[in-house]
Structure 1
């Protein structure tokens, strides 16, 4: 109610200010009311405080495994995945999408090396259906994408389609580091994943392994045992 009254006062003030030189035309109360209502009505046609919507909106997400974004989605930057070395016991546990044009800091020598590149650890024994078979020990690409006119993003594990009312950004498979290595996030790697380049040296760093299910506390059905885990990125 306070905001509504404030809007009325501001609109009325604008009408009066804009007409302070109109000495030949003294606006009556009804005329002022009409102009004020017209101002409020036309201002609501745009974005901003009058509609309760932000002037700019959208969501960002990382598309793991790809150098670009889906068609119609703006790319903020492209780069390579990175993170903590798989043998490190402390420090960061999340993967990072590192831009290809970094602004590097000054040298330090405290031995706290935590930012490494990331490699795919995908081979015939653990390759999810449909993914390329020559990805092992190649570096992981990524892109940060900006989806306009959306306000929510959701990664759904165990599915390859979004629920009704949601937009599919991309589908893939859940990956993380190996279970006996240091902890890492679960991320959704694009089903059509590609490497940064054609190098395949065993340099390690942060590693991407496909994961599989284990029945027991995980109820089967509806799940199945020792299968790859689909994922989908959805926006709304």
Structure 2
């Protein structure tokens, strides 16, 4: 099959090259048939295989499931790990949470004092824990899973919702969390409503922290929002 395809490419290319500078070249029936076949082959090949991956089955989207070690059923797991990030009192450096794999390929020693990569802990004692979240995991480390959803082209986290809009596929729902308002900046993360710890260790080592957040009416219009409530979130794909 490869040799026959190659022969088609070479023959067609030869015809096109020879004709490149021709103004009044009349293609024979066999030449035209060959070109039409080549066009059909290229169109079918691109449609079936894709332009970048080579296989349609490899297309899809990835997302992080914060607070869980596994992905939902029928969703492939790329890797499982632990959440990391910058220390909560650091004023510079990264502001995003990271899903760090459990099988790292570690680098070499570095002399400079620029520590920015720490683990992450839940800080969700009763006053900062959304009422719909199970258990008190205060000062326990946060797990994560990178998930691959096949045959999807986009992923969307919707704050303030627990269900997806029509036409979107539900992945998981949870609560919007970030660091405490007086600490360093952190991204908002949608932490699974059934969040779990990495293990049972509770040594208060801090690092990047997760607090439940609440709404504040004013510039945020109420209604439709309510004041002083937890913020739900949902991850959807399409």
Measured against the shorter chain, the TM-score band is 0.7 to 0.9
Q: Give the structure 2 partner of residue 228 of structure 1.
A: 230
Aligned-pair Cα RMSD in Å: 2.5
TM-score scaled by structure 2?
A: 0.82
User: Any stretches of 5+ residues in structure 1 without a counterpart?
Assistant: 1-8, 17-27
Moved more, 212-221 or 53-62: 53-62
The match for 1:188 among 187, 190, 208 is 190
Structure 2: unaligned runs, 5 residues or longer: 1-7, 16-26
Report the CA distance between 1:109 and its aligned residue: 2.8
Kindly state the Cα deviation for residue 132 of structure 1 after the two structures are TM-superposed: 1.9
Matching residue of 1:5? none
Report the equivalent of 2:146.
Answer: 144
**1:11, CA displacement in angstroms?**
8.9
Instruction: For 1:193-232, list aligned pairs within 5 A.
Output: 193-232=195-234
State the Cα distance separating 1:80 from its structure 2 match: 0.2
Aligned partner of 1:24 in structure 2 is: none
CA distance in 2, matches of 1:49, 1:68: 31
Taking structure 1 as the reference length, the TM-score comes to 0.82
Shift of 1:156: 0.7
Alpha-carbon separation, structure 2, partners of 1:33 and 1:191: 62
**Contact 2:12–2:35, Cα closer than 8 Å, also in 1:** no
The correspondence of residues 1-236 of structure 1 with structure 2, limited to 5 A, is: 10=9, 13=12, 29-34=28-33, 36-38=35-37, 40-41=39-40, 44-48=43-47, 55=54, 56-236=58-238
Shift of 1:98: 0.6
